[in-house]
Structure 1
């Protein structure tokens, strides 16, 4: 007898439900997760000295960026893990907050390695959620000001900006959807405390510095493999 339409669907669903449950993460497992990772800054900054030309009294902002994310986790016990979060370098526009969409005056790149201790909740069907907390180190590099935009406003002066590196608290929430004994799907969200000091230079002389809290939300969706 041939199965048609709904009959085939019921048979497939029954096969899935009757199959044995996928084994949860266990002590000694290594889990590698990879996917798209988006940094969405929630910026708060001081204003530049009001006596400065062009930038005086204005704050700065930075835009979002998406890169390839990669995380490595090791299960210390069946429910406790340690995770290292990395990514390809992020590059953000530096925006002078003039109202509206602002004015892009330069860019900066950074690497945000983050180390977290994780607690894994009991598995529910194929899903296992987890929480993590730890420390982030953000390394800024390739900071630059767009001379074509800023220099003419300052009579041709050479303008630069430097951002200090940051150490701060990070926390996360995530979930693995186990496909089989090795492969899984993952969704993760982090919040990272990134506080930097933006130092403004004109003709190599520092003219001002302001504190900038970037404090991004970071989102990742991808696949994982455990072994």
Structure 2
């Protein structure tokens, strides 16, 4: 196995991307929202104490579907709460061989992250500008737990649980039809 890596934790760094949301109001107080974004790319960091060591990189798409409850309108503001499910697709994983190969005697090392399904929740508010246009501010927490499987010379030798669980902040402009 990997005695130099086994038992250590793996994390990912932050990233900012363009997000899009589409909400459909089923009733005046109940909505369904689909959240999407351009692909996120993160450094994979081995927690060795301090800042950790960047050992690779991954990209992912985290589409999220939420049911929302809207509170009554208070002037131009309408707050809401949402809860739902997230499915995160990981792709383009890579390992920095210059960092990781020496840990395993110079062998070829690869990583694969499993896709993730988890709970998501949000709190937000719409601020009406006029009958159709609005400003939106929202905060989400998404449960993204994946498994990093490490391969040495194409044989799986270790797996490490990775909890990403990001806080997502969004400020946007919306249009009501």
Unaligned 5+ segments in structure 1 are 1-50
Deviates more, 1:148-157 or 1:137-146: 148-157
Q: 1:195 deviation in Å?
A: 1.5
Aligned length: 177
Once the two structures are superposed, residues 136-190 of structure 1 have per-residue CA deviations (whole angstroms, 9 ceiling, x without a partner) of 1011111110112222443331111111111111111010111111111111111
Structure 1 Cα separation of the partners of residues 48 and 106 of structure 2:
21
Map 1:134-153; keep pairs closer than 5 Å.
Answer: 134-153=84-103
1:124 aligned residue (63, 74, 78): 74
Q: 1:59 deviation in Å?
A: 1.1
Q: Identify, as 1 or 2, the structure richer in strand.
A: 2
1:200 aligns with 2:147: no
Q: Identify, as 1 or 2, the structure richer in helix.
A: 1
Structure 2 Cα separation of the partners of residues 183 and 138 of structure 1:
30
Q: 1:53 deviation in Å?
A: 4.2
Unaligned 5+ segments in structure 2 are none
Q: 1:56 deviation in Å?
A: 3.0
Structure 1 Cα separation of the partners of residues 63 and 96 of structure 2:
28
Structure 2 Cα separation of the partners of residues 226 and 172 of structure 1:
20
CA contact (8 A) 2:109 2:152 kept: yes
TM-score (norm 1): 0.75
TM-score (norm 2): 0.95
Quote the RMSD (CA, aligned, Å): 1.2
Structure 2 Cα separation of the partners of residues 71 and 145 of structure 1:
33
Once the two structures are superposed, residues 6-51 of structure 1 have per-residue CA deviations (whole angstroms, 9 ceiling, x without a partner) of xxxxxxxxxxxxxxxxxxxxxxxxxxxxxxxxxxxxxxxxxxxxx6
- SS of the equivalent of 2:72 reads coil
Larger radius of gyration: 1
Once the two structures are superposed, residues 85-133 of structure 1 have per-residue CA deviations (whole angstroms, 9 ceiling, x without a partner) of 0000001110010111111010111101011111110011100100111
1:52 aligns with 2:6: no
